[in-house]
Amino acid sequence: MKRYVIRRLLMAIPLLLVISFVCFCFISLIPSNPAEVALRIQQTPIITEEAIAKMEELLGLNKPFLVRYVDWVLGCLHGDFGISYVNPARTVAGELVRCLPATLQLAGASFIIVVVLSIPIGFLCAIHKDGWFDKIMRGIIFISTAMPAYWVGLLLMWGIGVKLGWLPTNGNGTWRHLIMPAFTVALSYISTYIRLIRNNMLENMKQDYVLYANVRGLPQKSILIKHILKNSMHTCIVAMGMSIPQLISGTIVVENVFSWPGLGTLCISSIFNRDYPVIQTYVLLIGVLFVVFNLLFDILQTVSDPRLRKES
Amino acid sequence: MGKRFLHNRTAVLTVSLVAIIALIGIFAPFFAPNDPYKTDILNKFADYSAQFPLGTDQLGRCVLSRLIYGIRPTLGLAVLTMLGTIGLGALLGIMAGYFRGIVEEIIMRVVDVVLSFPSQIMVFAVVALLGVSVQNVIIANVFIKWAWYARMIRTGVMQYRDRNFVQFSRCVGMPERFILFRHLLPSITSDLAVLASLDVGWAIINISTLSFLSLGVQAPTPEWGAMLNEAKDVLTSNPTQMIVPGIAIVVLVSCFNLMGDALRDVLDPKEAER
Amino acid sequence: MSTVLELKNLQVGLRQRQSETPLVKCVSFAVAPGECLGILGESGSGKSMSVKAAMGLLDSSFHISGSALFQGEELLGKSAEELRRLRGGRVGIILQNPMTCFDPIYRIGDQIAETFAAHNSWDKAEIRTRSLSMLEKMRIRSPEEVLEKYPHQLSGGMLQRVMIGIATAMAPELLIADEPTTAIDAITQFEILNELLKIKHEQKVAMLFISHDLNAISKVADRIVVLNQGQVVDEGDFHHILYHATDPYTRLLVEKRAAVMRQYRVVLKKAGAEHA
């Protein structure tokens, strides 16, 4: 068991290196000289050779490629992601720290909504397979997979925010601001997980252990919840956990619809401003989260399943 | 197979609906009642009328005409993206599956790296890197999706390359190129068709999302996502403006999703029985 | 003669979109207290289907008609809850794949305990002592440890014995063994059959032994019913089946077995000769 965990941790390291390398190459691939871009963005009136050289010095662009990469990785490990092109007084880390809480709040709330809604609905769909509830939910799921998240956001904003006036349409601060954006982010994941739990439970229902539970005369409720649901949850929790980074990256669009002051809004405005270090760090952050959450839930699955726990 | 296709009502309906939408888009000038770019600020937010069947937007442009002209970028770019994706994915997948060895190793490692990033972030990163424009949106979408196809096609090729008829062709001494195109491609086409039609829906949503964030098709070009972006600004004064393009997207995407499922039933009856 | 379980003209059909496919056509048999009835037939002959139908183990896509009497009570109209109380309590059932029949994520002890709790109002301590004595009765070594084990950590034979233990623990009036020896190796098969024989002698329960294996059935059954394609084709004691069977399908089964036995004797003789 311990050996398995250590092996998994070691296997993650090369992947993290590759991800960081790709992110680093990102800035080197910009068609124009980053120093020049930085100067332009700061609206320096006359861009001279010296100014570019000075900026290169400031941004550390005059060193060899690999040296810069190592410096950058070491910097990242210390939480130093460089400085923003747009406003050299600000560090990228500072910008991210400023915007991160709002995004985490949004992603966390969406995750709770996903768990709270998709598990019971998936459960009900599975036990009433082909019943009216299952059919209605299947219809809703089908439509919702075809709906772009931003449009869902607009509809909610108009219906609940403007027409009914129940919830504020933009900004953040209170939990009432949180509901609509969080639900919008959650919607596509809810449909995915309803389907996953439903199909997983139906698959489990065909297993021998369910027949034997019936043979032993266990109450229906206990078979459904204690055995079938719990067995299905194992797979689903892992899948849900692994999708957390996707949930965080999924907030980009919704944050922009609801003017939510998080990473997504920062990312889009950085794209418009060509503030490459911010985008680079954002991509790195999501990439690392992706690896970490995959690793975490993979290990969790191994620990929680008695069949896998023993081996290794 | 043609018979099975005609017997599958969903397949026939969705394919014809997509064909009709595509035709309307191609012959947009013929179907659109008005010029989609002609502004008439005095007649903004007009109600439904004979001249403007779906009313006018914040600049007094005909919503229906913009919707019809919008088919071109919306559907066109999605199809273009899919063609690019399949082309690149098939090329690399077949190379990996057929030549094996070092070629395969390199291609598959690159595939692993691409798949280890969340796709949504990669789109934004690529657009940020290359700058905001329509062609970059397509490049970004192809870039994040090709790896799926490369992996799937490689698996398909590997399953087929050891089949007897391919072995036979090789024994008979046919050139490799001939074997590839004559035998391997047709045998993986059905998988490809299903996956591709499901992914056109995905591409439509993705491209329209970028346009909605003003990172893709730019105003005043009438793309559905861009139209929704404009509608967002007049959400309180003219809320109905966002209904029509949204429904259009949902209908078109649902259509492709249904088509994918139906094609799977048609092409792979064994799978459908499950 | 009083009967414990009696099936009369039982029919089971699978409902499909328009039609109904008959799976069991008119099966009737009865088993008396202390008697072991063997049900013989190849897979798909409807032997376990008819018993499952009587015990309410089939879902609603099956259409069941006829009559199934347990101690004189009609089972077919009973509610799911009444049938549930019957199963595991007054009717013990043993299934054929012990390795897959236990829920992989619960310990054996938990699964025994939940069965006991479902039919009795025993407290925790009593459930534990009863679990231990049940495992001991099944001659399982170090029962305390076995209670803490997960199903994948035990062998098929052990799990089969736990299963038999659970089925017999609550003094059932009827024991149904559905192919109990099919999925396990020959030596364990022998032990399991002895276990069942012992139970039959000690507890005087009525037993239904379902199998496609004429050897296994001949060892435990007092009387045999032969099923083929959802119908009873022959009935009688082992002697009758062996020598006086009228049905061609039964004869085929018997002859196959006889051929195997002849071959076996020849091999034995040869081996004996070589040894000597």
Q: Which residue has the tokens 């199809």?
A: B79
Domain boundaries B75-196, corresponding CATH code: 1.10.3720.10
Nearest CA in chain A to C118: A218
Measured in whole angstroms, the distance separating CA C150 from the mean position of its chain's CA atoms is 24
Report, as an integer, the average pLDDT of B52-63: 77
* Segment A84-124, tens digit of pLDDT: 777 777 788 888 888 888 888 899 999 999 999 999 999 99
- pLDDT for B268: 66
Residue A229 contacts residue A62 (beta carbons within 8 Å): no
pLDDT of residue B273: 42
Triad B142, B148, B150: Cα angle to 5°: 90
Q: Which residues contact C271 (CB under 8 A, 6 or more apart)?
A: none
User: Which of A143, A146, A283 has its CB closest to that of B125?
Assistant: A283
pLDDT tens digits along C179-237: 887 777 777 788 888 888 888 888 788 888 888 888 888 888 888 888 888 888 888 88
User: Which residues of C fall within a CB distance of 8 Å from A215?
Assistant: 55, 57, 87-88, 93, 95
Altogether, the residues listed in chain A come to a count of: 312
3-state per-residue secondary structure call for A23-63: HHHHHHCCCCCHHHHHHHHCCCCCCCHHHHHHHHHHHCCCC
**Pick among B124, B127, B207, B210 to test the A interface (most A CBs inside 10 A):** B124
Amino acid C181 reads T
Count how many Cα atoms sit within 13 Å of the Cα of residue A165 in the half-sphere of its side chain.
0
Q: How far apart are CA C117 and CA A43, in angstroms?
A: 78
Q: Where are the domains of chain B?
A: 2-73+222-273, 75-196
Give the pLDDT mean for C93-110: 88
Q: Which two tokens stand for residue A238?
A: 């892992």
How many contacts does A have with B, using Cβ atoms within 8 A? Answer: 114
The 8-class DSSP code of residue B239 comes to: G
Whether the pLDDT of residue B270 is over 70: the answer is no
Q: Is A21 exposed, middle or buried (0-12, 13-18, 19+ CB in 10 A)?
A: middle
Q: Where are the domains of chain C?
A: 1-90+170-191+198-236, 102-169
What pLDDT, on the 0 to 100 scale, is given for residue B84? 92
Whether the CB of A217 is below 8 Å from some CB of chain C: the reply is yes
Per-residue pLDDT at C1: 52
Nearest neighbour of B236 by CB, restricted to A143, A162, A271: A162
CB B170 within 8 A of CB B182: no
The pLDDT value given to residue B272: 43
d(CA B50, CA B47): 10
Instruction: Pick A212's closest partner by Cβ from C84, C85, C95.
Output: C95
Q: CA–CA separation, B137 vs B130, rounded Å?
A: 9
Model pLDDT for residues C161-183, shown as the tens digit of each residue: 888 888 888 888 888 888 887 77
Q: Which residues in chain C are contacts of A130 at CB distance < 8 A?
A: none
> Which amino acid does the sequence have at A157?
M
What single-letter amino acid sits at B175?
P
Least CB–CB distance from A151: residue in B122, B228, B257? B228
Do B118 and A249 contact (CB within 8 A), yes or no? yes
Distance CA B263, CA C1 (A): 63
Write the CA distances from C75 to C28, C54, C84, C85, integer angstroms. 14, 6, 11, 12
**Contact residues for C166 (Cβ-Cβ < 8 A; gap 6+):** A216, C88, C92, C112, C115, C134
Enumerate the residues of chain A whose CB falls inside 8 A of the CB of residue C166. Answer: 216
Model confidence pLDDT, tens digit, residues B70-88: 898 889 899 999 999 988 9
Question: What does pTM read for this prediction?
Answer: 0.82
Q: Which residues make beta-bridge pairs with C176?
A: C93, C208
Comparison of pLDDT for A37 and C15, the residue scoring more: C15
**pLDDT reading at B269 higher than 70:** no
d(CA B143, CA A292): 24
Measure the CA angle with vertex A144, ends A141 and A150; round to 5°: 160
**What is the C-alpha to C-alpha distance for residues C135 and C160, in angstroms, rounded to an integer?**
12
Identify which of C37, A290, A269, A261 has the alpha carbon closest to the alpha carbon of residue B124. Answer: A269
- Helical segments of chain C, H only: 47-54, 80-86, 98-101, 108-119, 124-137, 143-148, 156-169, 186-203, 214-220, 238-244, 248-275
Class of domain C1-90+170-191+198-236: alpha beta
Nearest to A218 among C80, C93, C114 (CB): C114
Contact (CB<8Å) A217/C97: no
Burial status of residue A184 (CB atoms within 10 A of its CB: 0-12, 13-18, 19 or more): buried
CB contact under 8 A, A209 and C104: yes
Alpha-carbon distances of A30 from A27, A46, A65, A275, rounded to whole Å:
6, 22, 14, 11
Under 8 Å between Cβ of B88 and B72: no
Shortest distance between the Cα of A43 and any Cα of chain B, in A, equals 19
- Sheet with C91-94: list strands edge to edge: C91-94, C174-178, C206-211, C36-40, C223-228, C231-236
pLDDT of residue B249: 92
Rounded to a whole number of angstroms, the distance from the CA of C16 to the nearest CA of chain A is 15
Give chain C positions within 8 Å (CB) of A234.
Answer: 105
- Six token digits for residue B266: 């048609």
